[in-house]
Amino acid sequence: MRKGLLTLEQKRRLNGFRDEIIKNAEDIDFSSELGTLLPQDQQAIVKDFKTVLLSELKRQTG
């Protein structure tokens, strides 16, 4: 969700689901859910995935 990749309409729709995404992200163990899908050299991505996800969501939706 890097800056400029989402249209204004997509950002508006994402903002509508923001609270639900935040609530659901609290219950997900991203290391176990995503870790099995990633090669060993990319496991660091999921270490702080929840923090990165919430930060990016906040940046995109304001």
- Specify the pTM: 0.70
CA distances from 58 to 19, 22, 36, 40 (A): 11, 10, 27, 29
pLDDT of the residue at 9: 93
pLDDT at 23 over 90: yes
pLDDT of the residue at 3: 61
User: Where do the structural domains in the chain lie, given as residue ranges?
Assistant: 8-61
Give the model confidence (pLDDT) of 30-61 as tens digits.
888 888 888 989 888 888 889 989 998 888 88
- Angle at 14 (CA atoms; ends 10, 18), nearest 5 degrees: 170
